[in-house]
Amino acid sequence: MSLSHIAPLAILLALAGVATAAPDAGAGGARKPACELDAYSKDTDPQGLNVRSGPSIDAPILATLPGWKPPGPDDELEGHLPVGFTIVEARNGWVRIANVSIPDPDSGAHQASPISGWVSGKKVGYALQTEVGFERPDPTSPVAIRSDDWIRLDDAIGISDCSGEWAQIAYGDRKSPQRAWFRGLCGLIETTCDGRLGDDSEDHAAADADAAADAPRP
């Protein structure tokens, strides 16, 4: 898909007044703790990514973000950067986004957009700058997944929940997925994110060994 329509689309959406969606508390449900996670749209559908008024496929569409055309091996990144945003809430496989920025197709510079609302957590891209995932959003909770390097979830399904700097990510079999909590999400494709490191595998391996050594023997 050509990205030449991105800037005009952003202007038209802003003028049309479709830019904002009030935070949705859900039907009788308690609000999740707010989170702040940088991410981007990985939706490659030429029709774009729908932004809805609530966390449901039946919620009205407020706006549509441009689809992403990933760069090929010989392409410059400037013309292939995705739409960026901040995740501020997650519920039932949907994430509420704010601070949307739409890249200029020529310069790659991001232009702020007032669009906000809910998008599918399956359409959200990120890199994990962490070596450990946990059962809960707590670094003292049991380890769910560990790697010797930054974790690559090639079988990731999507973000299913969030809390503070943490994201719960579903991965594996779509019919019976595994889930783990991670921090250290990076919402850039062109570089790493300074100051967004998660957890070190060696630190937690040492802590596990100490705990096992201190455990009472049968």
Question: What is the CATH classification number for the domain harbouring 59?
Answer: 2.30.30.40
Same structural domain for residues 16 and 87?
A: yes
Mark whether 188 and 137 lie in a shared domain.
yes
Of 103, 125, 147, which closes a domain? Answer: 125
Instruction: Please check whether residues 68 and 85 belong to one and the same domain.
Output: yes
The model carries a pTM of 0.76
| Cα first-last separation, the chain | 64
The predicted pLDDT at position 96 comes to: 97
Strand segments, DSSP code E, in the chain are 37-41, 49-52, 61-65, 84-91, 94-103, 110-113, 117-120, 124-125, 127-128, 132-134, 143-146, 156-163, 166-171, 178-183, 185-186
**What mean pLDDT comes out for the span 6-28?**
43
What integer best gives the mean pLDDT of the chain?
A: 83
- Residue 102, domain extent: 1-125
On whether both 12 and 84 belong to a single domain, the answer is yes
Whether residue 190 is predicted with pLDDT greater than 80 in this model: the reply is: yes
Q: Are residues 133 and 177 in the same domain?
A: yes
83 with 23, same domain? Answer: yes
Our count of domains for the chain comes to: 2
Query: DSSP secondary-structure letter at 35?
Result: B
Confidence (pLDDT) at 77: 78
What is the tens place of the pLDDT at every residue in 93-145? 999 999 999 988 777 788 999 999 999 999 999 999 999 999 999 999 999 99
Q: Kindly tell me if the per-residue pLDDT of 28 is higher than 60.
A: no
